[in-house]
Amino acid sequence: MSGPFSAVKISDRVYWVGAIDWALRDFHGYATSMGSTYNAYLIVADQITLVDTVKESLMNEMMARIASVIDPSDIQNIVCNHAEMDHSGLLPRMIREVRPERVIASRQGVKALNAHFHWDVQVEEVKDGECLDLGGARVHFVATPMLHWPDSMFSYLEGDRVLFSQDAFGMHLASGERFADELDAELLRQEAAKYYANILLPFSPMVTKLFAKLPSLNLDIGIIAPDHGPIWREKPEQILECYSEWATQRPTRKAVVVYDTMWYSTARMAEAVSEGLASGGLTVKMMPLAGSHRSDVATELLEAGTLVVGSPTINGMIYPTVADVLTYIRGLKPKNLIGAAFGSYGWTGESIGQVEEYLTEINVEIAAERVRVQYVPDSDALMRCHALGRQVAAKRKESLTAGVSS
């Protein structure tokens, strides 16, 4: 008996048997304000196969869903598309419980699982392009290294036309609905964009390579089943199109102004900078760090073209919240941004130069001279901030116009 948990049928031979994590609020520094799901899939063929597992603490929910379809001990194969612990952490217990004939992973997946668990389990390595015959059903394996770990791979069930895409094409979103077409389209785009910006963005070149490779694979994809979030069963090409667009990191007229403030001087400067950007023809998103999480800043930058950052100086250093968000963004490796630095100080004012150094390390093109103000900005200082915004806007518009003409 499965108790209150039941599997959800997603195709003739495939069931969702995952778990919903309503309480998750942080994922590696990424604010998951809407929770998440950990998706696992059961292929009911002659050889019953489990594709991925769930977070270890949610084992009982997954096992109950499996038990609503089959006896879990009938599972013969477990496919591990991705060795990250939110999907593989349960494997040792599953193997002891189910005793499958085979555990399958990519070459790098075998190495990662061995390094995680230091076990004596024999994990079978599969290569790019190999197939697994389940008896009346065939699974094809597609290597997708660095989307988003070295071990990552897709699995494709022919006939049912289901692509098991591990962490790609997913999102952190807990819901009672299992399918994307049951949810609001704007919510889906917002959460998918946040996921891409915070998880996949550094690997955009690999996303582009994947789309170049897909036509040669001749996969007739009818359903995309990721490891997080809803399943794409109607028009799955919509999420493929989003990824193709996001991978280009094509700059836009949107400007993101990120800042923190101690006694509101830097905040006043940020307002003047934003007015200058707007009067120069850009759409502005102001993000005071007192109320903006680093992962939301990354999300806003995904479809932007400009990043302007302000910081007060504290103890001769950049303000801690500003350093935090710039360190986080640096790891995400955004492309094609321009920007500038500004800020206030009381004594020596080192932070503004430090902000500019961060921007340079992130490969943000400095488009205007930094503005530094001691203590409280007067009207002249605010006009210099406004001019900084206008100068950055002019530079952004010039580059966009050049890009269109070329």
Catalytic residue IDs: 28, 82, 84, 86, 148, 167, 195, 228
Beta strands in 338-400 (DSSP E): 338-345, 365-366, 371-374
Alpha carbon 247 to its chain's center: 12
Closest CA to 251 of 376, 49, 404: 404
Residue 285: which H helix or E strand, with range? strand 283-288
Q: Encode burial over 192-217: b for 16+ CB neighbours within 10 A, e otherwise.
A: bbbbbbbbbbebbebbebbeeeeeee
Name, in order, each residue with C-beta under 8 angstroms of 55's C-beta and a sequence gap of 6 or more. 19, 21, 38, 85, 86, 87, 89, 90
245: tokens are: 């667009």
Q: Encode burial over 75-88: b for 16+ CB neighbours within 10 A, e otherwise.
A: bbbbbbbbbbebbb
Name, in order, each residue with C-beta under 8 angstroms of 330's C-beta and a sequence gap of 6 or more. 358, 361, 362
Please answer whether residues 107 and 153 qualify as being in contact, where contact means their C-beta atoms are separated by less than 8 angstroms. Answer: no
Residue type, 136: G
Please answer whether residues 137 and 13 qualify as being in contact, where contact means their C-beta atoms are separated by less than 8 angstroms. Answer: yes
Alpha-carbon dihedral 183, 188, 191, 197, rounded to 10 degrees: 160
Please answer whether residues 172 and 36 qualify as being in contact, where contact means their C-beta atoms are separated by less than 8 angstroms. Answer: yes
| Radius of gyration over every alpha carbon of the chain, rounded to an integer in angstroms | 24
